[in-house]
Amino acid sequence: MDKTIINTPGAPAPIGPYNQAILAGNTLFISGQICIDPVNGQLKNKDLQEETHQVMHNLKAILQKAGFTFNDVVKTTIFLTDMHRFGEINEVYGKYFDSSFPARETVQVSALPKFVNVEISMIAAK
């Protein structure tokens, strides 16, 4: 099976030994994204809504680089630091999909990179 590394300047550069995404056959595996603004490398986290929008913008840039859209997403994983705030994240997250939502799990964790509140990874397929 062919494996292609996907990286785009439209999303933040990896902050460790990984790639933004890997395309394996017709399946795209996107590494977890946080609210780093790829233009200046700063966190966009004045509130949880802004943070979640930036995460989704980063994911969209990676999807587009690989020739995918949110309609191709089949699975997401949401990591958050406070499950009580799930509704706030869910409200923003849901706006990026039409009626065909992907499968998903949401997990509360004690901390995330750069001490942000949310990280989302995705799997997309054609």
DSSP track, 71-112: GGEEEEEEEES-GGGHHHHHHHHHTTS-S-PPEEEEEE-S--
Listed residue (32, 86, 99, 95) closest to 59, CA to CA? 32
Please tell me the pTM assigned to this model.
0.96
- Residue 1: the pLDDT is 78
What are the residue ranges spanned by the domains of the chain?
Answer: 3-125
Residues above pLDDT 90, as percent of the chain: 94
For 65, the token pair is: 């680089």
The identity of residue 81, as a single letter, is T
Mean pLDDT, the chain, rounded, equals: 96
> 64-116 pLDDT, tens per residue?
999 999 999 999 999 999 999 999 999 999 999 997 899 999 999 999 999 99
- Residue 53: the pLDDT is 98
- Residue 99: the pLDDT is 78
123 bridge partner residues: 29, 75
* Cα–Cα dist 114/40, whole Å: 15
What CATH number matches the domain at 3-125, 3.90.550.10, 3.40.50.300, 2.60.120.10, 3.30.1330.40?
3.30.1330.40
